[in-house]
Structure 1
Amino acid sequence: MFKKHQIYKQDNYNMLTVEVQGKTLIIREISDQWGEECHTFISRPEMMHWAENRFRAEKFEGREEELQAIMDAFREV
């Protein structure tokens, strides 16, 4: 049984989830622009490093609360 965490979901075409499969973390990112992308990590620090690079503060100017909610969701995985 895998544990699935929803990081965000704007609609059926824009969402990001993390599946925990034992020690492996699989991020599934679905966007209407790029389709589905999968990223596999073997540790939480590795996943957090990816998340910090993927969700940079300068891209969320004026939407800091949204960024904080996304990063909090990653930390809870």
Structure 2
Amino acid sequence: MSHQPFKRHTIYKKDKWNMLNVEVQGTKIVLTEISDQWGEECHNFIGRPAMLHWASERFAKDKFEGTEEEWQAIMDAFKNV
């Protein structure tokens, strides 16, 4: 049985204290959000649809505090996981 490393994706990284990374572990997806405001939060999803649902709620367009381009880049990064 061959061991394949987990696939990692950086959704965004503003600095070493504000970032969001996703690690795909087979059918399991582990999302780690690090913030200078809240610390580290870890979310586990079984499959991509659950992660995309979380992302659409976490980064709701009407509540996003950034530009349209920043929001679109984050959503595109999630879709590429």
Give the TM interval when normalised to the shorter protein. Answer: over 0.9
After superposition, the Cα gap between the structure-2 partners of 1:62 and 1:22, relative to the gap in structure 1 and judged at 3 Å, is closer
Name 2:20's counterpart in structure 1.
16
* RMSD, aligned α-carbons: 1.1
Percent identity, aligned pairs only, is: 66
Paired residues for 1:1-77 under 5 Å: 1-60=5-64, 63-77=67-81
Mapped partners of 2:40, 2:69: distance in 1: 25
Which letter maps to 1:75? K
Mapped partners of 2:20, 2:34: distance in 1: 6
After superposition, the Cα gap between the structure-2 partners of 1:7 and 1:62, relative to the gap in structure 1 and judged at 3 Å, is closer
TM-score, structure 2 normalization: 0.91
SS at match of 2:54: helix
Mapped partners of 1:45, 1:51: distance in 2: 10
Mapped partners of 1:26, 1:2: distance in 2: 10
SS at match of 1:58: helix
TM-score, structure 1 normalization: 0.95
